[in-house]
Amino acid sequence: MRKLGIAVGVVVVILILAVAAVAIFFNPNDYRGTIQSELQKRLGRQVNLGQMHLGIFPPRFQVDNIAVSDDPKFNDTTSFVKAQELDVSVKLLPLLHKDVQVSSLNLVQPKVELIKNAQGEWNFSTIGSNQQTGPAGKLPQGAQRPQPQQKAPSTPSGQNKPSESQQFSLGKLVVSDGQVAITDQQARKPRTVYNHINVTLKDFSPDTPFTLDASVQLPGKGTQEIRLQGKGGPLQQANMANTPFRGSLDLKSVNIGDLQKFLQSSALTDTDGSLSGHTNISSESGKLAANGQMTLDKPRIHGIDLGFPVVANYDVNDDLVSDLLRINKGNIKFGQTPIDITGTMNSKPTPSQIDMNLRANAVSIAELAKLAAAAGKAFAPGTNVTGTLNANIQARGASDKPQLTGTINGRDIQASGKDIAQPVTVKAVNLNLAPTQIQSDNFPITSGGTTVNTQLTLRNYTSNSPLIDATLKAPNAQLPALLSMAKAYGVSGVDKLAGQGTLNLDLHAAGPVASLSSDQIMRALNGTLALNFNNVKYSGVDINHELASIGGFLGRAGSAQKDQGYTNIQKVTGNILVKNGVAQTNNLQALLDVANVGATGTADLATQRLNLDVTAVLNKAFSQQVGGSNIGGFMNTALANNQGEVVIPAMVTGTFQHPVFAPNVQKIAQMKMKGLLPTGANPLGGAAGGAGGLIGGFLGQKQGNPQQPNAQQQQQNPVNQVLGIFGKKKKK
C-alpha cells in the first residue's frame, strides 16, 4: 500500500513538472494563427484574436479583444461577436504534445449582434456552414488579417485531422455579462439592445441536441432574475422556428418597472409590482406550447396600490408560422375574484384578429372596482365597492375594436368611503351586448332618499364615431345624495362643495362622439337643472376676499383680512340650460354673509372653462362698515346705488378648480353712463330708481335668454362649482 502511494505521488510530481515545462516553453501566441484558422473553419466566419496568455489550472488560453465577423449576407460592417476577453479551455494531455484541442469557450462581456432578415432567417443560422474564408474574405471591423505563423505540429499518429466538412461543435460555451442587440428586418422593428445576459451552452453541435441555460439579472433590489433552461436541437437552419426545444422559463421577483426598462417597452407604463412564476415550454416544428403560473405581487397602477395580488394560470398554444395563438385555459384571479378567458388571437394581420370568450360567475366586484379606479376608468380612488358580477362576453374581430355579444349583470352594488357622506347603491343593472350596440336597462342609482334613473345605449361602438344615447333624471334630488354619487364615481370639483337643498335634474346625452371618454360624452349632453341649495360651503375660493380686493377695501375694518380659501353661501338658486355640453344661466344667485351675488354666462362641462358675468351687491351695513363711497375702488371698480349699497361688477374666468376674479371695467362704464345700478334684492336687475332687466340690457339679450358661450374665455362663479357635478373625472 505504501508503494502504491509513492507511485501515485511520483506520477503527480511528473504531471506538475510537465505542466510547468509547458508553461515555461509553450508560447500560445506562436499558435495564434493555428487556433484562429481552426475557429474560422469551425465557425465559417472570419476570426481575429488579440494577444494570448496561457493559464495552467485549468489549462486554458486567455485571448484579448476577439472579433468574429458576421455573415456578409446579413451585415458586413459590424462584428457578429466582439469580446474584451475570451477563455479557451483546452484538453491537457494533447497540450503536453503541443496539440491544441478546444473543449470550451468563455466570453467575458461580449457584444453579440443578432439579425433576422426579411425572409425570416437569422444570422447565427449560418454558423458552421463552412463558407470559404479565403484571403478575399472580409474581416470584422477593426480586425487585421493574421500573419503567417509557425507551422503547427503534425497531428499525432492515429488521429484524424479535422476535415473541411467538419461541423462546428463545442463541449461548452459560456457568455458572462453580455450585451445582445436584435434587429428584426422581417417585422421592420428597430434595433433593440439588451444588457447583462448570461448564457451557458453545453454539447453544442448543429446536428445534435444541446443544453441551454440563459439568464438575465436585472439591476435593482432583490433577486430579479429571468431564466430560460432546457434542451434544444438539432438546429433547423432552414427555419429556426422549427428547432425543437423543451424547457422552462422562470421569473423571480422581477420588478415591472425594471422589466419595462430592460424590454424598452411602453406597454407597462404606469404599472409596477413584483412578477414571479414558472412556465413549461415545448416547441417543435413551429408549434409552441406553454403552461404555468405567474403572480404579480404588490401591484400598483398609476401609483395606486391595488391591495391584492394578481395570479394568472394559463395553457396556450402558438403556431409560430401562422402567428395564431390559442388560449386553452386562461384564469386570472384578482385577489379572490376569478375571470376565465379562452379563445384565439391571430397576429398575422394588422390589427390582430381575436375570437375570445370571457366569463365571470357571481364574482365579487370589489377587486375589479379597485382595478377600474386605479386605471382611471370608474370610481374614485379609496372608494369601497361591494356587490356581485356575472359576465359572459364573446369578442370577435379587430383587437382594438372588437364586436361584442353577451351580457353583463351587476347585483347589490354599493359604493362607500370616508369622502362619501351617504352610501350609493344600485340594486341591479343589466347590459346587453350586440355587434351593433350596447344597451342597459333603466336602472336606479340611490343615495339617501334620492334616486337618479339612468339608461344608456351605445350604437356603432366599433366605428370612429359611435352614437351615445343616455338619460339621467332625478326630480327633487337632494344635494348631499348627488354629491355622494358624484364622489363615488370620481367626478371632479365636487370634493370642494358641501351643503343642503334640492336639484331637479333632467339630462340627455345624444349624438356622435369621437370616443367614449368623459370629455366627449359631456359634449353630447343636453338638458336642464333647477337649483335650490342652502348652507353651502365652497372650498375653492374666498369670494369675500376677492370682492374686497376688486373693490379696494381689502384690509379695512370689518372686511376680509386674509384669504380663508372657502366661502359660506346661505342660499343658491337658479336655472341652468345645458346645450351640447355647455351649461348656460342668466339667473343664478348666491346669498353670502355680506353680499348678494348674481351671475350670468356659461361653463363648458368638457373643458371646465368658465365665462361668467358677476355682479355683487354688498348689503347696506357691510357697505358702510368698509367705507361706502370712500373705498379705494369707488368709481373705478365699484359704485354705490341710491340705497347705500356698494355694487361690484366682476368677470370670473379660469376653471371650476381654479376660478379667477377680475373687475368688469366695461360694465362699470355702462352703469356710470346710464345711472342704473342693481340692488341687493335683485343683483341681476331691478335697479334702484325702478329700472329692470339691467344685466340683460347690458348683455344685449332678453331676460330668460341665456348668453351664448365664448370658447376663447375661461371663467367661473364660486357657486357655479355645482356644475362640477357633471364635470370631468379626477385626473390621477
Query: DSSP characters for 580-646?
Result: TTEEEEEEEEEEESSEEEEEEEEEETTT-BEEEEEEEEE-HHHHHHHTGGGSTTBTTTBEE-TTS-E
Sequence-distant contacts of 558-563: CB under 8 A, at least 24 apart: 558/622, 558/625, 558/626, 559/625, 559/626
Position 692 confidence tier, pLDDT thresholds 50, 70, 90: very low
Contacts of 169 (CB under 8 A, 6+ apart): 42, 204, 205, 208
Q: Tell me, what's the pLDDT at 336? A: 87
pLDDT band at 656 (very low <50, low <70, confident <90, very high): confident
User: How far is 598 from 684, CA to CA, in rounded Å?
Assistant: 5
- By the 8 A CB rule, do 61 and 88 touch? yes
Arithmetic mean of pLDDT, 200-227: 86
Reported as a pLDDT band with limits 50, 70 and 90, residue 127 is confident
Question: At 650, is the pLDDT very low, low, confident or very high (cuts 50, 70, 90)?
Answer: very high
Burial class (CB within 10 angstroms; exposed 0-12, middle 13-18, buried 19+) of 321 = middle
Q: What is the pLDDT of residue 76?
A: 83
Radius of gyration of the chain (CA): 39
Highest mean pLDDT among 48-62, 362-376, 477-491, 677-691: 477-491
Going through 74-218 in order, the beta strands assigned E by DSSP cover 81-90, 102-108, 111-116, 170-184, 189-204, 210-217
Percent of the chain with pLDDT over 90: 37
Rounded Cα–Cα distance for residues 431 and 392 (Å): 11
Q: What is the CB-side half-sphere exposure of residue 181 using CA atoms within 13 A?
A: 13
pLDDT above 60 (res 401): yes
- State the Cα–Cα distance between residues 411 and 421, nearest whole angstrom: 22
pLDDT reported for residue 52: 83
- Residue 620 exposed, middle or buried by CB count within 10 Å (0-12, 13-18, 19+): middle
- Would you place residue 731 in the very low, low, confident or very high pLDDT band (cuts 50, 70, 90)? very low
C-alpha to C-alpha distance for 479 and 455, rounded to whole angstroms: 21
277 forms beta bridges with 251, 294
3-state secondary structure of 322: coil
Angle at 279 between CA 277 and CA 285, to 5 degrees: 160
Across 16-20, 196-200, 488-492, 556-560, the highest mean pLDDT is recorded for 196-200
Among 38-47, 84-93, 626-635, the minimum mean pLDDT is found in: 84-93
DSSP H or E run through 578 = strand 567-579
Cβ atoms within 10 Å, residue 663: 19
Residue 260's pLDDT band, with cuts at 50, 70 and 90, is confident
Residue 406 CA, chain-centre distance (Å), reads 28
Cell 379572490 sits at which residue?
Answer: 336
Strand-strand pairing, 659-663 and 646-654? antiparallel
For the residues 30-49, what does the mean pLDDT come to?
Answer: 81
What residue type is assigned to position 109 of the chain? Q
Domain boundaries, the chain: 29-129+168-204, 533-571+584-697+704-726
Q: Which three cell numbers stand for residue 225?
A: 432574475
Of the candidates 381, 407, 410, the residue with the CA atom closest to the CA atom of residue 394: 407
Please report the pLDDT score of residue 218 as a whole number.
82
Roughly how many angstroms between the first and final C-alpha of the chain, as a whole number?
83
Predicted confidence band of residue 707 (pLDDT cuts 50, 70, 90): very low
pLDDT above 90 (res 618): yes
Average pLDDT score over residue span 358-367: 91
Pick from 38, 55, 56: which is nearest to 47 by CA? 38
Lowest mean pLDDT segment, chosen from 358-372, 446-460, 696-710: 696-710
Specify the DSSP element, H or E, that contains 668: helix 665-674
Q: Give the helix/strand (H/E) hosting 44.
A: none
More confidently predicted of 571 and 76? 571
pLDDT band at 66 (very low <50, low <70, confident <90, very high): confident
Residue written as grid cell 395580488? 309
Q: What are phi and psi of 338, to 5 degrees?
A: -90, 140
pLDDT of residue 723: 34
Closest alpha carbon to 423 in 393, 458, 466, 387: 387
Distance (Å, whole) CA 718 – CA 499: 14
More confident: 590 or 242: 590
Q: What is the pLDDT of residue 98?
A: 54
Q: How many CA atoms lie within 13 A of 155 on its CB side?
A: 7
CA distance 83 to 74: 20
Least confident of 290-299, 443-452, 485-494, 551-560: 551-560
Mean pLDDT to the nearest integer, 67-88? 86
At 53 the three-state DSSP class reads strand
CA–CA separation, 563 and 543 (whole Å): 9
Q: What is the residue type of 395?
A: A
The mean per-residue pLDDT over the stretch 154-169 comes to 45
Report residue 376 as a C-alpha cell: 382611471
pLDDT level of residue 460 (50, 70, 90 thresholds): very high
Distance between CA atoms of residues 567 and 538, nearest Å? 5
CA distance 462 to 40: 58
Please name the amino acid found at residue 716. Answer: Q
User: How far is it, in rounded angstroms, from Cα 471 to Cα 57?
Assistant: 83
Rounded Cα–Cα distance for residues 239 and 125 (Å): 9
% of the chain surpassing 70 pLDDT? 79
Q: What is the DSSP letter of 679?
A: B
CA distance 669 to 652: 18
**732 pLDDT band (50/70/90 cuts)?**
very low
Q: What's the pLDDT score for residue 697? A: 31
